[in-house]
């Protein structure tokens, strides 16, 4: 596919990752985009896409429509294109296949620029990411469209596109890091508590006493393991371990 003349979802990912120079060469026609026909990971994702979407339908009792629907739109000064895998209940459904050691959080963060562009193009409330991990795990998460993030991202994308239009090599450009905290994932957000004094104080206390708590937990488990199944109480000068009527063991310090 010819990659000049527009910005797509995967391009947004590259731009927000700071890979401007490589993408600029492609968008100005100085080099061809990478041939992915023999890229195993990419082709595996292509071949498992239909199964992935069928599994999503099964797990969500859903019926996906608008398969591989293409969008084209001028957003500000930037011509865009995007092809969504499918739609369900006003939301995009995107099928992804990644390695078994990856996490859903990493997948969401990596594809966030693409997801937000596609949701904007489709005027959707967000996107479901349907993800196969390796060959034995599947998860899905809903990422809500966030206009504040999109506008901030599009300012960066528009800046990149300006270099393409001017045929000016983007050297020494620093890509801003955009916070994802306010973007709802499965109806929940993240919060940076770095300026919350109470939270920071509790965090310091947790870190300082983490080792002691681990030692305490191990000793507690060891003591209970030493109580025989036919013993109702085991004690010493320091403490006693008693078995209640339900069979649970309780440790009490002796005065």
Task: Please report, for the domain that includes residue 34, its CATH number.
Answer: 3.90.320.10
Each residue's pLDDT tens digit, 10-19 = 999 999 999 9
Confidence of residue 143 (pLDDT cuts 50, 70, 90): very high
CB atoms within 10 A of CB 64: 19
Cα separation, 52 vs 63, in Å, equals: 13
What does the DSSP 8-state code read for residue 241? Answer: E
Query: Residue 13 falls within a domain, yes or no?
Result: yes
Q: Which domain holds residue 238?
A: 197-253
Angle at 14 between CA 71 and CA 33, to 5 degrees: 75
Instruction: Supply the pLDDT for residue 2.
Output: 76
Size of the chain, expressed as the number of residues it contains:
255
Query: Residue 4 falls within a domain, yes or no?
Result: no
Do 158 and 231 have their domain in common?
A: no
Cα separation, 8 vs 75, in Å, equals: 12
Instruction: Supply the pLDDT for residue 34.
Output: 81
Instruction: Supply the pLDDT for residue 255.
Output: 76
Cα separation, 182 vs 158, in Å, equals: 22
Check whether 225 has a pLDDT greater than 70. Answer: yes
Burial class (CB in 10 A: 0-12, 13-18, 19+), 173: middle
- Check if the beta carbon of residue 137 is closer than 8 Å to that of residue 100: yes
* Higher-pLDDT residue of 149, 238: 149
Cα separation, 254 vs 53, in Å, equals: 62
Q: Of 120, 150, 166, which residue constitutes the final position of a domain? A: 166
- CA–chain centroid gap for 158, Å, is 24
Cα separation, 248 vs 239, in Å, equals: 16
Do 100 and 219 have their domain in common?
A: no
Do 20 and 123 have their domain in common?
A: yes
Do 51 and 119 have their domain in common?
A: yes
End-to-end CA, the chain: 80
Instruction: Supply the pLDDT for residue 10.
Output: 95
Instruction: Supply the pLDDT for residue 32.
Output: 87
Query: Residue 186 falls within a domain, yes or no?
Result: no
Do 158 and 219 have their domain in common?
A: no
Do 204 and 162 have their domain in common?
A: no
Do 110 and 47 have their domain in common?
A: yes
Q: Please tell me the pTM assigned to this model.
A: 0.84
The number of distinct structural domains making up the chain is 2
Do 30 and 141 have their domain in common?
A: yes
Q: Is 36 left (phi over 0), alpha (psi -120 to 50) or beta?
A: alpha
Each residue's pLDDT tens digit, 152-176 = 999 999 999 999 999 999 999 999 9
Whole-number percent of the chain with pLDDT over 90: 80
Each residue's pLDDT tens digit, 64-104 = 999 999 999 999 999 999 999 999 999 999 999 999 999 99
Each residue's pLDDT tens digit, 19-65 = 999 999 999 999 988 888 888 888 888 889 999 999 999 999 999 99
Check whether 5 has a pLDDT greater than 90. Answer: yes
Do 43 and 100 have their domain in common?
A: yes
Cα separation, 181 vs 183, in Å, equals: 6
Phi then psi dihedrals of residue 101, to 5 deg: -90, -5
């Amino acid at each position: 596919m010819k990659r000049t003349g527009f910005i797509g979802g995967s391009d947004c990912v590259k731009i927000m990752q700071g890979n401007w120079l490589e993408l600029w060469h492609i968008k100005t026609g100085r080099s061809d985009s990478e041939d992915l026909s023999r890229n195993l990971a990419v082709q595996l994702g292509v071949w498992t896409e239909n199964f992935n979407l069928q599994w999503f339908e099964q797990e969500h009792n859903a019926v996906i429509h608008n398969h591989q629907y293409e969008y084209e739109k001028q957003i500000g000064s930037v011509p865009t294109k995007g092809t969504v895998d499918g739609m369900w209940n006003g939301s995009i459904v995107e099928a992804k296949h990644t390695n078994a050691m990856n996490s859903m959080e990493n997948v969401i963060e990596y594809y966030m620029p693409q997801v937000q562009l596609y949701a904007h193009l489709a005027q959707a409330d967000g996107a479901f990411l349907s993800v196969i991990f390796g060959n034995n795990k599947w998860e899905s998460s809903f990422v809500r469209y966030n206009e504040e993030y999109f506008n901030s991202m599009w300012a960066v994308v528009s800046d990149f596109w300006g270099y393409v239009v001017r045929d000016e090599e983007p050297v020494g450009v620093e890509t801003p890091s955009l916070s994802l905290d306010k973007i709802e994932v499965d109806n929940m957000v993240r919060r940076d508590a770095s300026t919350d004094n109470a939270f920071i104080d509790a965090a310091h206390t947790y870190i300082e006493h983490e080792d002691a708590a681990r030692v305490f937990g191990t000793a507690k488990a060891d003591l209970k393991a030493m109580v025989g199944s036919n013993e109702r109480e085991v004690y010493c000068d320091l403490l006693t371990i008693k078995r209640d009527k339900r069979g649970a063991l309780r440790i009490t310090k002796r005065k």
